[in-house]
Amino acid sequence: MSPHPSREEDFDLYALGVLEGEERSAIEAHMSACAECAQKLAEAQGRVALLALAAPQSVPSPEVKDRLLRRLQGSGGAGGFGAVDSGTLNGGGVSAAPARTIAMPARVSAEALQSGTKPAGQWVSWVLAAAAVALLVISSLLWKQNDRLQSEIEKLRLDAKTLHKQLDYQRLVADVMEGPNVLNVALRPMPGMPKGNAMVHYNPAKGKLVYDGWIEPAPSDKSYQLWVVPMDGNPISVGVINPVTEDPASWIASVPEGVQAKAFAITLEPAGGEDQPTGPQVLVGSGS
């Protein structure tokens, strides 16, 4: 299949019939196998049809008609029938009124046509045709520019939405970290365990915890699980972590209010996690 037309305005120029030679052959060959470009051509032909209907009809002025008739009458001596005399008619036994000379030119001389001024209507038609071509080209360029601007606007809208989400999240993080008893604990990898590094921000009064960190992806049949180890009682699950890359992750979780933590740990558990730790500790940090 031949390549797509390199210029959007080629569709309008083809619809107007001004593309010739190889350019016309190339676009016709491509159109037969490309539904998208065929649709663009149909739209261009629609625009041309609308412009043709919108163009005012031009009628030559009476002066143009009179000038043409005078030139036709003035060329009777060359190539016409000549004068008809009364004697000829009388000789045939027919009574006739005084003869008049009638000029019947076979053609209008090239000199007469070349020396005259072209009808005003023809000039108007040419000007309108040129204006229509210019309008179609400009419309095509503006349409393409409008599509590009719409894409940029949509991208800015998505960027703004993402920024709002990030700001909302930062407000939540700031709220968790407000207060005199907030714990900021670094979690370090245990010997022989997957590599990783994380930070826990824990507010026991509000029962909120912020996790920021990264860790190597777990095996397909395993999950990482974050625990709060309280001063008294069993560890409390904060959430299951299933990283697919080593990119940093950040999230907020809820913990029962008032729980005083002595440590935080990430363990390697069966996929989906467990009610209580069963696997090895991967990252550990002390809360004291």
Domain boundaries, the chain: 74-115, 183-286
Instruction: Return all residues near 280 (Cβ < 8 A) that are at least 6 apart.
Output: 190, 193, 267, 268
Q: Please, which residues bridge with residue 227 across strands?
A: 237, 265
CB 33 within 8 A of CB 1: yes
Mean pLDDT of the chain: 77
Q: Are strands 281-286 and 183-189 parallel, antiparallel or unpaired?
A: antiparallel
Q: What token pair was written down for 62?
A: 């009476």
Asked if 53 contacts 65 with a C-beta cutoff of 8 angstroms, the reply is no
Cα 159 to chain centroid distance, Å, stands at 17
Q: What is the pLDDT of residue 57?
A: 56
Q: What pLDDT was estimated at residue 112?
A: 41
The whole-angstrom separation of Cα 75 and Cα 191 is 115
Q: Is 56 left (phi over 0), alpha (psi -120 to 50) or beta?
A: beta
Name the residue among 83, 102, 86, 84 with its Cα closest to residue 94. 86
Q: What is the pTM of this model?
A: 0.50
**Residue stretches of the chain with pLDDT short of 70:** 1, 50-61, 64-65, 68, 72-130, 288
Give the list of residues 6+ apart from residue 219 with CB closer than 8 angstroms, or none: none
Planar angle of CA 134, 135, 139, nearest 5 degrees: 120
CATH 2.60.40 fits 183-286, yes or no: yes
